A and B are shown apart, each in its own frame.
Chain A
Amino acid sequence: MPSLGEELKRLRELKGWSLRQVEEKTNNKVSNSYLSQLESGAVKEPSPNVLYALAKVYGVSYPALMTLAGYVVPRPAGGNSTSRMSIAFSAMNLSSDEEQEVLDFVQFQRKQKRKRNS
């Protein structure tokens, strides 16, 4: 798997764009100097909104870039659902077991509501 920097450089070169052109295409959200640092690996974890802007201008998958950046990772064994990421928590010191329990509960609640509405 290429590094994030290598992939970003490859995508830009495929389009034949300069660093400055990418800056313009992202409406100055990603400066040419910052992109240069990203491509060289000097910056390894850019803000997700930067990756989102780059994915849009390059026309590639944003989640794939998030995976290369290490922001999206495989779910640990035991996760049995495909939709666990559709919940955003605001919580204090929630352990992974507790998070799992609350997620199970939210799924249960969804099912109950679907039953009531059908």
Chain B
Amino acid sequence: MKLPSQIAVPESRNDITQEVKRLLRAADVNGRIPTPRADILACAELVESGELNLFAYEESFRTKALGFLHKAVGKVFGYLDFRAKEIYVDPKIHPNKRNFVTYHEVAHKILDWQRVIYTQEDHSTLSPECKSIFESEANYGAAEILFQCEKFEEMALDYNIGVASVLELANLFDASAHSTIRRFVERHRQPCLVLVLKPTRLEHDEGVQSYVICYSIASVSFLTKFGDPFRNRFINPGDQLCDIVNKTRQSDSIWFKDINSSSHEFTVEPFDSGYRQFALISPTAKKRSRIVARLHIDSGTMKTAR
């Protein structure tokens, strides 16, 4: 289960979490959700630059190939200008993703070992390996700011494993479904797994799709108990999982053998965020109701908090 570099967990995660906690305290976040963006930016001493005026630039340099800058800028989600203490976030990206990109840039700023290197005034640059590490660290830091370190896990304990829970938490934390489902699974105490899927170009009868597994993320307890059951990168019609995702199968159950060869039933919930397709896989049995978790006694009668 190798993670692509952009979502890899960096070796420096403990130091990153420490820096993020310092920032959250300084911004007096104190458990407020969603994370107060303006307070975070103020504490990181950063301002947003607003829209880029590409026209003025192209007017000044008429010899440059028009459109090249537009194409280049179109690939940029955001950037941090250390000297100007400004961040730019592409206004065209989805509002839920804006927070992640903003906090990605904030993370570059608050990690001392990155700031020192970025603000060096000399004729050197970063190696591709170093860029990759710094980007992974900024992604990790962004998720820590967005989900306020352990705050998300504490809240997620009250929820069943399921897409509905993920979407509600995404809404509460003002985060994308993509970043929330990843966080939900990687930090969950129960065995669960999410597959990030992309349809292939293979055409099958009745519009049935094959998928490539872009990557998968599992909870620690899943990995410990089941290892990595998806060794193939592709899922094709006829595979149980593919049939569930294509909704051509009556049952949404799938069985995995644990490391002791005992079979366990799991439920697959396919989900399309509009950008990506996911399959959330969680144990069928022992589902705990969120309502049960929130029962409390009030004046001798039992009420539900939500």
Residues of A with Cβ closer than 8 Å to B? Answer: 29, 45, 47-52, 62-63, 66-67, 70-76, 79, 82-94, 97-99, 101-102, 105-106, 108-110, 112-113
Chain B residues with Cβ under 8 A from A89's Cβ? Answer: 76, 78-79
Inter-chain contacts of B124 with A (CB < 8 A): 63, 67, 72-75, 85
Highest count of chain A CB atoms <10 Å: which of B10, B83, B134: B83
Task: Decide: A72 and B117 in contact? CB cutoff 8 A.
Answer: yes
Q: List 21 A-B contacts (CB under 8 A).
A: A48-B113, A49-B111, A51-B113, A62-B117, A63-B116, A63-B124, A66-B117, A70-B127, A71-B129, A72-B124, A73-B125, A73-B126, A76-B125, A85-B117, A87-B81, A88-B108, A93-B75, A102-B69, A108-B57, A112-B53, A112-B56
- A66 to B105 CA separation, bound complex (whole angstroms): 22
Interface residues on B, range: 35 or more
| Contact between A98 and B113, CB atoms less than 8 A apart | no
On chain A, the residues within 8 Å of B84 by CB distance are 110, 113
Interface residues in B169-189 by Cβ distance below 8 A to A read none
Partner-A contacts on B (CB < 8 A): 10-12, 15, 49, 52-54, 56-57, 60, 64, 68-69, 71-73, 75-84, 101, 104-105, 108, 111-114, 116-127, 129-130, 133-135, 138
In order of increasing CB-CB distance, the 6 nearest A-B pairs are A98-B72, A52-B113, A71-B130, A49-B12, A47-B11, A88-B108
- How many angstroms between the C-alpha atoms of A56 and B124 in the bound complex? 21
Partner of B72, one of A48, A94, A108, A110: A94
Q: Point out the residues of chain B lying under 8 angstroms from A105, CB to CB.
A: 52, 54, 57, 69, 73
Q: A82 touching B57 by the CB < 8 A rule?
A: no
**Contact call B130/A79, Cβ cutoff below 8 A:** no
Q: How many angstroms from the CA of A71 to the CA of B131 in the assembled complex?
A: 8
Considering the complex, give the chain B residue whose CB is closest to the CB of A48: B113
A48 lies within 8 A of B123 (CB):
no
Given contacts A90-B104, A94-B76, A108-B57, 6 further A-B contacts (CB under 8 A): A49-B111, A72-B126, A73-B125, A98-B71, A102-B76, A105-B54
